Every structure is written in structure tokens, then in C-alpha cells.
């Protein structure tokens, strides 16, 4: 009887020698550029025990510059996560341990592949049934959250790349849902004077805005500054060293309001939301051609000035992550419609918290659209190494005198400028503002003067 069991034991022993675990690789956070030494882990896309393939998203980290999606270089199983969500990860230190496939090639050099979240021209590949499916990490994450196989989705992007809209359309077909339009914030134009209430009537009582009730915890909470808030401390501390010169004016946007109302349906037919900001940005670019010192930068000791060839005009954006200032590159080469299209892209990424480092760096001049929230005048703070910034107030319908001395309703916007008084004098800022205002008050002239 014992003799009959011996062959069975031998076969089991032989089988155990065939199955072996692969090597465990420490997946390290490599240098993501711009001198960044630490990041905050914002979200894990995997957990211990999950199987991953090459180019699968591992986690999303946030530096003081941008959000970055970290992707895998190996096929294998996640054995350890080194950080919790919101913890600080150090460059060069392990992020996760991956038990790699015994048959897969293990490369010890450069353990991390990182891609900016929803990068403009970049994409990742996922091996599915013998072919590569192109999709950004955010698109793959959306598919994963909705249990959608990318191999079943038809990509409409370049070279068959799967876009976010492809996932949403696929999901809508499966569920029969009607997808809402993407939210978009813009300056709201007040109603025309003809819509004003008659004299002697009481205004309608508006219900109070719904605000979240404050929760009293009974104790103070102290937490370290991270990510964009930490970057704001550095930037504003450097800005305090700059002597600011302030200048304010008002602009009559009545003609621009009429032009925008005329062009808005045409832009929407092309899938672009047209706000007033593209006109403000383009007028600023034309002004910078005439006053290039406002599109310059100075070194730390203020001994040298660099005149920037590109007009990379930033837009201060209020997001859930704090104040971000992405910029539209090479505005001097773009039409108003092209600027509007690029702003749509930046605002979508900003709302999702996925602006890349390329969107947030390289700015040469900034406009702050504080009027979209409220207020008229402001005191904007220059973003070093830039030398000027403008803050735009809300548009109001106010009484003004017409050419014949009659009182007419006008769409008025206040603008507040700040300039580095070490290299920019008040007359230069004033002349630039006058030219900028002239183009906005006569938008047809802006179109004729495009170079």
C-alpha cells in the first residue's frame, strides 16, 4: 500500500518544482522633473493582491506643479503599497512592491513610467487580446469604474484612440441614459435694461443661496500644507519682494456683448463654448505686441530682463484644489475661436483636477477672472517671474451718457492691473490698458488688426 502511494508523492513533488513565484520588484518613484523631490499620493488605482499589466495605472500623485498618473512597467501582482492616500511620497523611494511574472523580463533601471494626467498628445497602451488599445490613464480609469472592457469600445480619436466621450457614449447605450452637458463657468451678462422692473414695484424676493451647514467638531485641526497650497506659499512669498504698481479703469463692453451674442451659436455648432475671456486674452496679446516689456521677466537680482517671444497668457482658475493658473500657449498665433477651444480644454481639466505640468508652466502674462465669482475691483498679485497681471470684474449694466448727451444703458466692466514697478512705469501700464480697452470697446478693430 505504501508502495502505491510513492508514485503519487513523486508526482506532487515534481509539480511543486514547476510552479514558482517571480521576483518581487520595488516600484520606485522616479524623478518627474522641475526639481520636484516629493509628491502627495492623491488616489490609488490598485490594492494589494491586484494583478496589473504594463501601462496599467497604479496611482495618481500631485506635486506643487501638477497631477501625474503613475503607470506600471511590469506584469505581475501588487504585494505592498508603501503609502496611504494623502501621504507624502519621496522621489527615489518605493511606491509599491510588484511580484513579477516569472516569464516576464525584469528591468531594474527606471522603475516608473509616469504620464501627465490626460496629457495633450500622450497616451498609454493596454494589451488586450493581442492588440494595443490606446487610451489615457483617466479614460482607462473611467472604464474600470464602470466595468467596461476597452476592447469592446470603438475609439474615435486619432489612430483609434479611445476618448472619454467614447466611454460615456458606450455607457449611455448600455444603460439608455441621457448624458448631461459638461458644466462650464463664464461671466454672466446682466439682463438688458428693458427687462428691469417697473418703477414703484417691489423686487421679487430671491431665495437664499444654499450653503453647507458648518460642522462644529469641538477641537482645532492642524495639517501640513501640501500640493498646490504649498506651491502658493512659495509663489506669494516671492511676490512680496516685488513693488506692485496698481492701476484701475472701466471698459464699456456693449459692442462686445452684441458681437459675442452673434457668434455664440456659431461656436456652439462647432462644439466650443464661447465666453468673453477669449476676447480679453486676444486683446491683451495685441497690446503686448506694442508693449513687450509687459511680456518679460527679470532675474532674481533684477539685473537682467528677458523679453518673451511667446504670449503664454495665464488664466487664474478657482478649483477644488485651490488657485491654479494654466496658460494658453502662443496666443499671438491663435484666433479668438482657437483660444476659446483651448480654454474649454483647460477648464475641463481644471474641474477634474488633472491639469498637467505643461499647462501650468511657462506663463508670461496673467488675467484673473474674479468677476465670474463676484466683485468689481481687486488688487491682483503678480506671479513671479512675470511682471504684470490683470483682474477682471463682473459685467454690470450701468447708466452712461451717449454721444448726444442722453443717458443710455451700458455693459461696464472694471479692470485692475498690477505691474512690477522696478521695470514698468505707470505711463506704460496706462497706455497698455488704454489700448486693451480700445480693442474691447471696438472688437471689429481687433479683428482687422490681427497680425
Give the catalytic positions in this structure. 421, 425
C-alpha cell at 162: 479611445
**φ, ψ dihedrals at 409, nearest 5°:** -75, 140
Beta bridge partners of 59: 44, 70
Which run of H or of E encompasses 323? strand 322-324
Q: Distance between CA atoms of 201 and 356, rounded to whole angstroms?
A: 52
Angle between helices 277-290 and 336-352 (to 10 degrees): 120
Cα dihedral 84, 87, 89, 93, rounded to 10, equals: -40
Q: Minimal CA–CA distance to 281: which of 237, 226, 334?
A: 334
Enumerate helices (H) and strands (E) in the chain, giving the number of each. 10, 20
**Could you say which DSSP state residue 371 is in?**
G
Q: Distance between CA atoms of 279 and 181, rounded to whole angstroms?
A: 24
**Could you say which DSSP state residue 162 is in?**
B
Do residues 78 and 47 lie in contact, with contact meaning Cβ atoms separated by under 8 Å?
Answer: yes
C-alpha cell at 443: 472688437
Other beta carbons within 10 angstroms of residue 417's beta carbon come to 22
Residue with grid cell 533684477, as numbered in its chain = 302
Q: Distance between CA atoms of 389 and 370, rounded to whole angstroms?
A: 12
SS3 301: coil
Which run of H or of E encompasses 360? helix 357-360
DSSP state string for 40-58? EEEEES--TT-EE-TT-EE
First to last CA, the chain: 98
Question: Cβ neighbours of residue 414 under 8 Å, at least 6 residues apart?
Answer: 248, 249, 250, 251, 376, 377, 392, 393
Do residues 71 and 30 lie in contact, with contact meaning Cβ atoms separated by under 8 Å?
Answer: no
How far is CA 170 from each of CA 137, 180, 297, rounded to the nearest angstrom?
18, 15, 48
Q: Minimal CA–CA distance to 360: which of 269, 235, 267?
A: 235
Q: Distance between CA atoms of 246 and 235, rounded to whole angstroms?
A: 19
Amino acid at each position: 500500500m505504501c508502495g502505491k502511494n510513492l508514485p503519487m508523492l513523486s508526482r506532487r513533488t515534481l509539480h511543486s518544482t514547476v510552479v514558482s513565484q517571480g521576483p518581487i520588484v520595488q516600484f520606485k518613484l522616479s524623478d518627474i522633473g522641475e526639481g520636484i523631490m516629493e509628491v502627495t499620493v492623491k488616489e490609488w488605482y490598485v490594492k494589494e493582491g491586484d494583478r496589473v499589466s504594463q501601462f496599467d495605472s497604479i496611482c495618481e500623485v500631485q506635486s506643487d506643479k501638477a497631477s501625474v498618473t503613475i503607470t506600471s512597467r511590469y506584469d505581475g501582482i501588487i504585494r505592498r503599497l508603501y503609502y496611504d492616500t494623502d501621504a507624502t511620497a519621496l522621489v527615489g523611494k518605493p511606491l509599491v512592491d510588484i511580484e513579477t511574472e516569472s516569464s516576464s523580463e525584469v528591468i531594474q533601471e527606471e522603475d516608473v513610467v509616469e504620464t501627465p494626467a490626460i496629457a495633450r498628445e500622450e497616451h498609454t497602451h493596454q494589451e488586450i487580446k493581442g492588440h494595443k488599445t490606446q487610451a489615457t490613464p483617466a479614460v482607462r480609469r473611467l472604464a474600470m469604474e464602470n466595468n467596461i472592457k476597452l476592447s469592446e469600445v470603438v475609439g474615435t480619436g486619432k489612430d483609434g484612440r479611445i476618448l472619454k466621450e467614447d466611454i460615456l457614449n458606450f455607457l449611455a447605450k448600455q444603460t439608455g441614459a441621457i448624458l448631461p452637458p459638461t458644466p462650464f463657468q463664464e461671466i454672466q451678462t446682466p439682463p438688458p435694461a428693458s427687462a428691469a422692473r417697473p418703477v414703484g414695484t417691489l423686487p421679487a424676493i430671491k431665495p437664499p443661496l444654499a450653503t453647507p451647514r458648518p460642522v462644529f467638531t469641538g477641537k482645532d485641526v492642524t495639517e501640513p500644507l501640501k500640493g498646490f497650497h504649498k506651491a502658493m506659499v512659495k509663489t506669494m512669498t516671492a511676490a512680496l519682494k516685488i513693488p506692485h504698481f496698481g492701476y484701475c479703469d472701466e471698459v464699456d463692453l456693449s459692442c462686445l456683448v452684441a458681437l459675442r451674442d452673434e457668434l455664440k451659436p456659431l461656436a456652439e455648432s462647432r462644439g466650443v463654448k464661447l465666453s468673453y475671456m477669449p476676447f480679453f486674452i486676444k486683446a491683451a496679446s495685441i497690446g503686448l505686441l506694442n508693449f513687450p516689456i509687459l511680456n518679460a521677466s527679470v532675474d532674481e537680482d533684477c539685473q537682467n530682463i528677458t523679453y518673451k517671444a511667446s504670449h503664454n497668457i495665464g488664466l487664474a482658475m478657482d478649483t477644488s484644489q485651490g488657485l491654479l493658473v494654466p496658460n494658453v500657449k502662443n496666443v499671438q498665433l491663435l484666433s479668438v475661436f482657437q483660444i476659446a477651444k483651448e480654454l474649454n480644454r483647460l477648464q475641463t481639466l481644471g474641474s477634474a483636477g488633472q491639469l498637467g505640468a505643461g499647462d501650468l508652466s511657462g506663463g508670461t502674462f496673467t488675467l484673473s477672472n474674479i468677476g465670474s465669482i463676484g466683485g468689481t475691483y481687486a488688487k491682483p498679485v503678480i506671479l513671479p517671474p512675470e511682471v504684470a497681471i490683470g483682474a477682471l470684474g463682473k459685467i454690470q449694466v450701468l447708466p452712461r451718457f451717449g454721444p448726444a448727451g442722453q443717458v443710455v444703458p451700458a455693459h461696464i466692466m472694471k479692470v485692475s492691473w498690477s505691474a512690477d514697478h522696478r521695470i514698468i512705469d505707470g505711463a506704460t501700464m496706462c497706455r497698455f490698458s488704454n489700448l486693451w480697452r480700445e480693442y474691447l470697446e471696438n472688437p471689429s478693430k481687433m479683428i482687422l488688426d490681427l497680425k
